Structure 1
Amino acid sequence: MKKLKSIRFWFIQTFVMMAFISTLIIFVGLQIYLVVSDSAILDIRMTLWLSLFALVVFLLVGGYFGIKGSYLIKGRLTDIHLFVSTLRSGNTTDKIPIYEKDEIGLVSEELNLLADYIQEQKQSMQRLADKKTSLAQSAHAAAVMEERQRLARDLHDVVSQQLFALGMMSSATLRLFELDREKAKEQLEEINRIAANAQGEMRALLLHLRPIQLSNERLSDGIIKLLQELKGKTNLHFQASIDDIENISKATEEHLFRIIQEALSNILRHAEAKKIKITLTEKENTIYLFIADDGKGFNPSVERIASYGLKTMRERCEEVGGVFNIRSKEKEGTYIDIRVPLTRESMKND
């Protein structure tokens, strides 16, 4: 990777080049003076010393102003760089200090206006999410019926077929046991695998049997209750740190709860994990949600395209103005990091 040069280097280089050029101009001027003047009081040796003295003076003065100017410009550009990094991470509340009404000052002012615009867009998205949640509540009965139908299809398409396969294989194994014990052992291992898959599917479907809404519970209470239910029904070990977040809109609560529900469902179905870590906290008007498991992981660039669950989680996060990041590697688990802004306007709406 090519090493970046500091702007201070370019400033000092420019002033040094100016010092040499200025010295060369003085030296050439003195030589012309010696050639033209009949009564010159200088000789070639003195012109060389004068040129050398001028070079030293120019270098000192140029170096001083080069370093001073580079510190000023680099400091202002560093402020812009840090602000852009902060803006990219989702924080739109900070502003760049504007020292001068010059070109850099105009860029800083435009970036501040851009941050305000992004903040307004996030607030608009949260207002739309609130309206959408309100409409969803009015259609609650229809959503419950649709969810029941979906669960019935999943039970028929996945679990019932696996149970049917278990019955067929167990009957065949009983007949084969006296004839070929080795073959019977292989079929018993296959039966065990199918039973484990069916159990994982059932656990995942249990998550979707909860109401679509939080039923007027706080987000922290709903998450804790969900984890307690899973802890009693599975062998998973949960490490949870759930803070009670005040002044959070209903839409944000609903979307975060459904994201956690979908993430746990994916872990139960596919991850083969033993430990799950969940952290929910709020800092500087930003909600931080972290979900991790020690399962088998996957290649996000290959499987994400076909993963409806991941797509749904990302869409829910972006719908409330959040940032969704996922990291996973085969045999090294999966890590989901979510940041959602908690704006003052959403506080008032509650």
Structure 2
Amino acid sequence: MTSIRLWFIQTFLMMAFITSLIFFIGLQIFLFVVPDSGLSTAMTFWFWLYSFVIMAAVGFYFSLRGSYVIKGRLGDILLFIATLRRGKFTERIQTDEKDEIGLISEELNQLSEYLQDQVHSLQRLAEEKTELSKTAKSAATMEERQRLARDLHDVVSQQLFALSMMSSASLRCFDQDPEKARKQLEQISEIAGKAQGEMRALLLHLRPVQLSGESLCEGIIKLIRELKQKTNLAFEASVDEIEHISQAAEEHIFRIVQEALSNILRHADATKVKLVLAEENRYIHLYIGDDGKGFDIHEEKMASYGLKTMRERCEQIGGTYNIRSKANEGTYIEIRIPALRREE
């Protein structure tokens, strides 16, 4: 009932009816003006009826013929659009006419070429993205190796060298000056403890960034338990399950916690760490504090690699990063990240 052919037939029949009706009215007016013309009302009616039938038949024929051609051309266009929707962008529609339907066909052919070019561009972008991802991963791995090697050389290696020199000196003066040897042994014990903290911090960096199928809460709790077993740090932790969070945000927050705990192990000389992770008022709140020696933020000028990394990771997921520290009063880090909406 919605076919374009039916619309054509209805239009031509309506035109035939209106034309014959106007002709009939004209005949009636003629009979009224010229009553002696010899034509009767019955004759004009039958004359009108015959003319209507003839015009309706002619209109029906030409409507079928015209609609057949137009319907066929529109059917070709519909079939071509369905072909494009299935992803066959190499197909083209053939047309020789330059009317409106022909112009539509030409535009569809150009659209097909454009879509084909876009597919090729997407494929090239995918290949380039894969190559860039490999390059970035390789560069990040190399940078991390260089940083770990630098940290080992700058800190741990020097501490081990100092331990070696002081232990040799202690052995030489052990019989001659026991008091001096005892002080040197105390220094050796202190340096060994610092070297152990540095190694634990470096090992913490070597942990995988991914949570390996665990939730953020489970990963942080597991990390805290490991540090409790391997260090003398006392933890006061409150870690809630976060529902409205993306996988990327989970990984970044987990890495921020790793970096913060690593800095505490290496620099803070702390005995107690407080960690709070909670979701409130559509925001994810992360708080990490220690009772260590602290530092002057203005003097340090945020030069620490770990602090910069934490700030960058926080900004990458749309969060805000605040750090407070004071000499001999510890360091506190507060991070607030927007949570995902329920529909997201």
TM-score by length of 2: 0.57
Question: Does the 8 Å CA contact 1:237/1:274 hold for their aligned counterparts?
Answer: yes
Please name the residue that 1:176 is paired with. Answer: 173
Unpaired runs of at least 5, structure 2 = 1-128
Of 309, 313, 327 in structure 1, the residue corresponding to residue 310 of structure 2 is 313
Q: Cα RMSD between the aligned structures?
A: 2.4
Match of 1:333 among 330, 333, 336: 330
| Deviation (angstroms), 1:247 | 3.0
Are the counterparts in 2 of residues 304 and 310 from structure 1 also a CA contact under 8 Å? Answer: no
* Structure 1 residue 253 displacement after superposition: 0.9
The match for 1:200 is: 197
Deviation at 1:195, TM superposition (A): 0.9
The Cα offsets for residues 306-349 of structure 1, whole Å up to 9 and x where unpaired, read as 2221121112112211111111111111111111001328x62x
The residue correspondences of 1:102-117 to structure 2 (distance < 5 A) are: none
The letter of the residue matching 2:206 is L
- Give the Cα–Cα distance (whole angstroms) in 2 for the partners of residues 315 and 254 of structure 1: 13
1:302 is aligned, of 299, 302, 312, to: 299
Q: Please give the alpha-carbon distance, in whole angstroms, between the structure 2 residues aligned to 1:136 and 1:314.
A: 23
The aligned counterpart of 1:29 is none
**Match for residue 230 of structure 1 among 227, 232, 235:** 227
2:164 to 139, 163, 167: 167
SS at match of 2:278: strand
Is this contact kept in 1: 2:246–2:340, CA < 8 A?
no
Q: Which residue of 1 aligns with 2:279?
A: 282
Contact 1:288 1:339 in 2 (8 A): yes
Q: 1:119: which partner in 2?
A: none
1:269 aligns with 2:266: yes
C-alpha separation between the residues in 1 aligned to 2:136 and 2:243?
Answer: 27
Q: Which runs of 5+ in 1 are unaligned?
A: 1-131
Question: 1:313 & 1:152 partners in 2: Cα distance?
Answer: 21
Letter of the structure 2 residue corresponding to residue 320 of structure 1: I
Deviation at 1:304, TM superposition (A): 3.6
Q: 1:141-163: per-residue Cα shift (whole Å, max 9, x none)?
A: 77556545543443344223322
Deviations 1:214-246 (A, max 9, x none): 223211111111111111100111111111111
Structure 1 pair 321–335 and aligned structure 2 pair: CA distance change class (3 A): same
Identity, % of aligned pairs? 68
Q: Is the 8 A contact 2:244 2:340 kept in 1?
A: no
8 Å Cα contact 1:144/1:212 also seen in 2: no
Distance in 2 separating the partners of 1:279 and 1:136: 34
Q: Which residue of 2 aligns with 1:94?
A: none
Higher relative contact order (CA 8 A, sep 6+): 1
Name the counterpart of 2:151: 154
Alpha-carbon spacing, 1:152–1:230, altered in 2? closer, same or farther (3 Å):
same
**Which amino acid in structure 1 is aligned with residue 250 of structure 2?**
E
Q: How many residues align?
A: 214
Query: Which residue does the alignment assign to 2:239?
Result: 242
